[in-house]
Amino acid sequence: MRVPLTWLAEFVDYGTLTPAAVADLLTMRGIEVEQIICEGDESILECNITPNRPDCLSIYGIAREVATATNTRLPPFPLQVVEGEGSIGHRLRVTIDAPADCLRYAARRIDGVRMGPSPAAVQRRLACAGIRAINTIVDATNYVMLELGQPLHAFDASAIGGGHITVRTAGNADRAFQTLDGTAHRLEQGDLLICDRDQPIALAGIMGGANSEVQDDTTSVILESAYFSPSTIRRTSKRLGLISESSRRFERGVDPNGVITALQRATALLVAWSGGVPTRDWIDLYPVPIAPRRIPFAVTQLKRILGIPVTTEEAQAILQRLGCAVEEHGVTWTVTAPTFRPDLERPIDLIEEIARIYGYDRIPPATPTITPAALHRPVGWRCADRCLTQLQALGFAEMVHYAFLPATEAERFPMPEVTPVALKNPLGQEPTILKTTLVSGLVATAALNLRHGQASMRCHEWRPVFRQGVADIEEAWRLAVLMMGRRYPFSWTAAQDVVDFFDIKGLVELMADWTGMTVVEWRSQGVPTFCHPGRSALFCDPQGPFGYCGELHPALVQHYGFETPPYVAELDWSAVVSRGTRPERFVPIPRFPAVRRDISLSVDRTMPVATIAGALRTMGESWMTDVTLFDLYEGERLSPEKKSVAFAIRYQHPERTLTDDEVNQVHQRAVEHLVRTLSVEVRQ
Amino acid sequence: MGDGVLQELGRLEALARAELTAITTAEELQALRVRFLGRKGLLTTILRQMGTVPAAEKPLVGRRANDVKAMLEASLDAHRETLAHASIAAALTDRLDMTLPGRRPATDGHEHPIRQMTRRVLAICTDLGFSIFDGPEVESEQHNFEALNMPADHPARDMQDTLYVEAGACQRLLRTHTSPVQIRVMLAQPPPVRIVAPGAVFRRDADVTHSPMFHQVEGLYVDHGVTFQHLKGTLLQVLERLFGEGISVRFRPSFFPFTEPSAEIDLGYHRDAHGMRLARHGAEPVTDWLEILGCGMVDPAVFEAVGYDATAVSGFAFGLGIERLAMLEWGIDDIRRFYENDLRFLTQL
C-alpha cells in the first residue's frame, strides 16, 4: 500500500513530523513502512499491510492510525450526497440471489457523463499510489477505493441487459467468463457473479467483465458499491489466480457500513470530473445489517498477558482512540468494535491493540523463573552428532540439498520397491518428486564440483527421505556419504591412488562402529540399480540390511562425466537408531599377553575371503580372539586360478599366560581344520 | 693352581676391555655382556675352576673374581652410557627441510553453515532450559494450518504459499514452518512446555532471498503466568548470546495467525562507507533495522486446538530463519548458495 503524504495530510494533521518520523510512528505500531519514496515534491510511504488489517488498505485508514498514534482527533469522513434527478427504481432493478455471499449491494446511476482524462492532479496522485490513470470513471472508482478502502465498480449502463442486475453464484450453465483484462476464466459452481438479465457481467468483487466495461463512448454508468463475503471472494480469486486491488480488499473484509459513504464519494468525484447527473436516489440492499461486534473484556487479562499493569484509563483511552466504544461494568467491560475492524473479535484482539498503541518499547523485559526439567533431544541425535563430527574429522564436507528433485533426475536413482511421492504443485512446470535417496543429491553435487575443478571429494548428508506407504507417506532419515578421487590429500608425500570399493566399505565399517551396529553380512543382491552390480553390497546386521554401498553405475559415471567413479553409501538411520547398541559396562582388560600366529594359504581365486575367516571363527576355539587378513596376493608368482591369503590369528587366555606348546597345538588344529573343510593349501 | 685362575681372570679382563673399545651399538654391547658375564659366560667358566684352588688361596681368588666382575660391569655400564649419549648426539645432527608441507591425515572437513548456525541457536536455547523436539517434514493441514489458527480461505495463508504432495485420500503438504512441532508436543504433554523445534521448512517461492526449502528454529514456552515481558526478556537473552552484548534491538508489532499480540524483532545496523555492521552500545547510530525473528504470545485459538485451558496458561512462541541469520553473520548475498553445495563456498565457513 503506497501512501502519498499530501493525501494523508488531507485527513490528519501530524504537525511538524518529518516523513521519516511518520514512517517510524507507523512502523512501531505494526504498519511497517518498508521505504519512503520521493517523487518530485511528494513523499510516498510504502506500507506493508498485514492480512489482518483491511482497514489500512486505505489512506483514511492509515490516517486513523496516525491520529491514534499522535493522539490527535481524526475528523469523520464527510458524507457528501450529490443531488440528482429521477428515481433509480425506474432504470435499475437489483436482486440478490446469494444472500450469504453478497450481504450488501448498493448502486447509483449517473447519466450524461463525458469520458475523458481525469484532472492532472488526480492522475499524478493515482500514479503516486501505484495505480495507472485510465479515464474519469475508472479513476473515480480507484480514487475512492484508495481513499476509503471500499472497492467500487462502474458498469456501462447500456450493457446491462433488461436493466436488471442479479447477484448469484455460478450454476451449471455458466462455463466461461471473460474479464475486462481480456482473460477468459472457467467458472465453477460457487463463484459469485454479477449478472444482467442474460449473462454474467462481472466476477463479483474481483474484476468486471469485458462485456460491460465502460467505453470511450459510454454516457451512462452504474456505480456499484457492495459488501461480499470475504471467503467467497478469496476462494474464486485463489482458484483463478486472479488477484486484483478489489479482491485483496474484499477477501480481507471491507467495512459493510462504509458502503454508502464510498458510493456517494465516488458519485461526487465522477460528477465533478466528467459531468453528468446522478439519480435522485440509489439502491441499497442490506437485508441483514451487520452490527458492530460487542466483546466482553476482563481488564485483568491485560496484566496476565502483558505482565505490566496498563492503567484502566489508558487502556480505555487507547480503545476509544481506535474507534471502539467502552462500557464499564466494574472489572468487566463491554467493548464495541467498529465494523471497519473485522480483526477485533476476542479479548486477546483488544489486548493486542492496547499493547500496540501503548508501545511494545514501554513494556520492560523480564526473565521468567523456570523450574529446571530434564532436557529432551530427538531420538538418535546424539548418535548422529557423533557420526557427523567423525565424518567431518575424516575430511567430509556436509551438504544440504532440497528434499525434492525433478522426476527426470529422480528416475536415475530408483530405490528398489519404493513408490516415490510427487509434489502436487511443483515450483516450475517440471514434475517434481520427494527424494527417496540422498545419493542423487550427492552425485549431482559431485558433478557440479568436478566442473569447478574438484576431482576429489568426500561429502555427506543427513536428512529424511520419503516414500508412499500403505496408509500414509513414510518419512525416514538417511545418512549418505560419497567418496571420489584421491584417497589421500594431494601432496608431495602420499601415494596418489584413488579410492575404490574397499574405501567406502571401510567407511561403512567405521560408521557401524560409531553407531554400534554389527555387520554380519555383505550381500550382493538387492543393491539399488544405480550402483555397479559387481562392486556394491547391502550390509546387514542380524536383523537384516540397514544400508548399501558401492561404486556408482558406469552408465551414470559416463552421464555425469566423472573422471573416476564416485563411491556411495547410504545408511538407514531409523534402523541404526533402533538397533545400534553402545557398550553399557566396562569389560576388564585381559591381564595376560596375547600371542600372534600367522597362517598363509593358497586358495582358489574365487573363494571369498570371508569363507576362510568364517571357518576359523566358527571353530569355537575360545582362546582364538581375533582373525585379521593381512595379505592378499594374486599374480605372476601363482597360477592364474589361485590366490594367496595370509591371516594373523591372535590367541589369548583370560586367566593365564599361554605356553608356546599350547598355542602351537591350537594353531595346528586351526590349520588342519581349514585344510580338512576347505580346499586350501598351506604355504610355507 | 690359584695363580692359573688369577692369570685367566687377568686375561679375561684385558680381553673384555680390548673388545669393549670396538663396540659401537647397544646390541653388540649386550652380546659382549652375555659372552663375558652371562650364566654360561667366560667368567663363569673360569670360576668353575675354583674347586681346584687350594683352600687358603680361595678368599684371594674369590675377591679377585668379584673385583673383575664388578669392574667389567662398571665398564660395560659406562660404555652403555657413552653409546646412549653418542646415539642422541647422532640423532640430533639430522636437519629436516621445515618448509616442506605437512602430511595431513585427511583434507579439511566442513559442517554445513546451516547446521553450524542451527547448532549455535540450539545451544543457546538449551542453556536457557528449552528441550529440543523434531517432527515430520510432510505434515497434515490440521497440524500445519488449522491448529495454528489458519483456517482454509483465510488470507493469512497467503503469507505461506504451500507445496502440496500427492498423498491419495489424505491431504498432505510440506510443512511451511516448524510450528506443527509445537502442536504435536502440546497434544502429547500437558504444560509446562519449553521447547525448540529446528528443521527444514518449505514454501512455494524462489529468488535471491527466498528458497523453496529453508530452515527454522521455533521456540515455545507455555506455563502459568508467562507474559509478554518474559517474551521480551527471553528473546533479548537469545539475541545477546547470539550477536554479543550491546546490540540494538526493537520489538515491532506485527501479525501472525498463531500468536497475539505478535511482534517482529529488528536488529539495529550502522551503515557507512565501510558497509554495514551491528550498531553496538549506542556508539554508532542505527541507520538500518533488519528483521531477525518473529514472535508473540500464543493465540488462545492454538491452546484451544490442543486442549489447553487458555484462561489458565499463557505462553510465547518465536521463530527464526537460520539462513537469514547465516546470511547476516557471514555476509552471504544469495540464499541459493546454501543449497548449491559448491565446495568453494562450503570450505570457507
**pTM reported for the whole predicted model:** 0.87
Query: B39 with B118, same domain?
Result: no
Check whether A227 has a pLDDT greater than 70. yes
A459 at interface of B, judged by CB pairs closer than 8 A: yes
Name the minimum distance, in Å, from the CA of A360 to any CA of chain B. Answer: 6
What pLDDT does residue B257 have? 93
Tell me, yes or no, if A296 comes closer than 8 A to chain B by beta carbon. no
Whether residues A298 and A198 fall in one domain: no
* B294 and B225 together in one domain: yes
The verdict on residue B108 lying in a domain is no
Q: Is A464 on the interface with B (CB under 8 A)?
A: yes
Q: Is A376 on the interface with B (CB under 8 A)?
A: yes
Task: Say if residue A644's pLDDT is above 80.
Answer: yes
Are the Cβ atoms of A307 and B228 closer than 8 angstroms? yes
Domain total for chain A?
5
Higher pLDDT, A386 or A619: A386
Nearest-neighbour CA in chain A from B117: distance (Å):
13
pLDDT for A603 beyond 90: yes
Tell me phi and psi for residue A274, to 5 degrees: -130, 15
Task: Judge if B47 and B126 occupy the same domain.
Answer: no
Tell me: do B183 and B43 sit in the same domain: no
Residue B97 domain flag: no
Within this chain, do residues A479 and A531 fall inside the same structural domain, yes or no? yes
Q: Give the domain range for residue B65.
A: 2-92
The total number of structural domains in chain B stands at 2
In degrees, to the nearest 5, what angle opens at C-alpha A146 toward C-alphas B253 and A94?
120
Residue A634 and residue A502 share a domain = no
C-alpha cell at B82: 657413552
Contact B111 A452 (CB under 8 A): no
A306 assigned to some structural domain:
yes
**Domain co-membership, B85 together with B128:** no
In this structure, the answer to whether residues B222 and B261 fall within a common structural domain is yes
**Does the distance separating the beta carbons of B339 and A491 come in below 8 Å?**
no
**Distance in Å, alpha carbon of B294 to nearest chain A alpha carbon:** 13
Q: Do A493 and A553 reside in the same domain of the chain?
A: yes
B125 inside domain: yes
pLDDT of residue B57: 84
CATH number at residue A203: 3.50.40.10
Answer whether residue B103 is part of any domain: no
Tens digit of each residue's pLDDT (9 = 90 or more) over A16-75: 899 999 999 999 999 999 999 998 889 999 999 999 999 999 999 999 999 999 988 888
A457–B343 CB contact, under 8 Å: yes
- Give mean pLDDT, residues A450-475: 94
Q: Distances from the Cα of B156 to the Cαs of A425, B1, B148, B211, in angstroms? A: 19, 120, 11, 20
State whether A221 and A178 are in the same domain: yes
The pLDDT of residue A526 is above 80: yes
Which among B137, B155, B166 has CB closest to A403? B137
Q: Do B253 and A30 touch (CB under 8 A)?
A: yes
Q: Is residue B338 part of a domain?
A: yes
The CATH number of whichever domain residue A554 belongs to comes to 3.30.930.10
- Residue A651 — left, alpha, or beta (φ > 0 → left; ψ -120 to 50 → alpha)? beta
Please check whether residue A373 lies inside any domain of the structure. no
Do A562 and A444 share a structural domain?
yes
Could you tell me the CATH number of the domain that includes residue B276? 3.30.930.10
Residues B166 and B244 in one domain: yes
Calculate the average pLDDT of chain A.
Answer: 93
pLDDT at A494 over 80: no
The predicted pLDDT at position A171 comes to 87
Q: Which domain holds residue A200?
A: 88-285
- If asked whether residues B216 and B173 sit together in one domain, one would say yes
A 105-164 residues with CB < 8 A to B = none
Q: Which residue has the cell 483484462?
A: A181
Domain end among A285, A317, A335: A285
Which residues of A fall within a CB distance of 8 Å from B112?
397-400
| Structural domain ending residue among the three candidates B29, B63, B92 | B92
| A324: CATH | 3.30.56.10
Q: Supply the pLDDT for residue B3.
A: 76
Q: Is A358 within 8 Å of chain B by CB?
A: no
Which CATH number is A661's domain given? 3.30.70.380
Query: Taking residues A5-21, what's their average pLDDT?
Result: 92
Picking from B109, B132, B155, the nearest residue to A51 by CB comes out as B155
Residues B170 and B281 both lie in one domain: yes
Q: Can you read off the three cell numbers belonging to residue B183? A: 502442536
In a domain, A389, yes or no: yes
CB contact under 8 A, B343 and A373: no
Q: What is the mean pLDDT of each run of 10 residues along chain B (349 residues)?
A: 79 88 89 89 85 84 87 90 90 90 88 96 95 96 92 72 84 93 96 96 86 95 96 96 93 95 94 87 87 95 96 96 92 91 91
Distance (Å) from the C-alpha of residue B58 to the closest C-alpha of chain A? 43
d(CA A28, CA A492): 62
Per-residue pLDDT, averaged over A509-521, amounts to: 94
d(CA A635, CA A618): 30
Does one domain contain both A493 and A509?
Answer: yes
Element housing A516 (H / E) = none
Per-residue model confidence (pLDDT) at position B160 = 67
Whether B20 is in a domain gets the answer: yes
Average pLDDT rounded to a whole number, residues A502-522: 95
Q: Is pLDDT larger for residue A403 or for residue B55?
A: A403
**Backbone phi, psi, residue A98, to 5°:** -125, 75
- Which of A256, A285, A314 is the last residue before a domain boundary? A285
| CA geometry: angle A2, A5, A8, nearest 5 deg | 90
Residues A173 and A266 in one domain: yes
CB contact under 8 A, A421 and B138: yes
Instruction: Look at residue B52 and tell me if it is in a domain.
Output: yes
A277 and A301 co-located in one domain: no
Query: What proportion of chain A, given as a percentage, has pLDDT over 90?
Result: 80
Is A473 close to B153, i.e. CB distance below 8 A?
no
In a 10 Å sphere around its CB, with 0-12 CB exposed, 13-18 middle and 19+ buried, how is residue A331 labelled?
A: exposed
Query: Is A81 part of any domain?
Result: no
Chain B residue with Cα closest to A474: B138
Tell me whether residues B164 and A396 touch, CB distance under 8 A. no
Per-residue model confidence (pLDDT) at position A15: 85
What angle, rounded to 10 degrees, do the helices at A259-274 and A136-148 form?
150
- Nearest by CB to residue B233, choosing from A365, A391, A493, is A365
B134 falls within a domain? yes
Judgement on whether residues B220 and B261 belong to the same structural domain of the protein = yes
Select from A551, A579, A607 the last residue of a domain: A579
> Looking at the domain assignment, is residue A513 inside a domain?
yes
* CA distance linking residue A167 with residue A105, whole number of Å: 9
Question: Of B152, B154, B293, B308, which Cα lies nearest the Cα of B234?
Answer: B293
Inform me whether the C-beta atom of residue A495 falls under 8 Å from chain B C-beta atoms.
no
Of A30, A234, A472, which has the smallest distance from its Cβ to B153's Cβ?
A: A234
Tens digit of each residue's pLDDT (9 = 90 or more) over A148-190: 999 999 999 999 988 999 999 998 888 889 998 988 999 998 8
What is the full DSSP assignment across A6-64? HHHHTT---TT--HHHHHHHHHTTT-EEEEEEEETTEEEEEEE--TT-GGGSSHHHHHH
Residue A79 lies in a domain: no
Q: Is residue A398 part of a domain?
A: yes
The cell numbers describing A662, all together, are 599350547
Q: What is the DSSP letter of B158?
A: G
Interface test with B, best of A53, A352, A442 (most B CBs within 10 A): A352
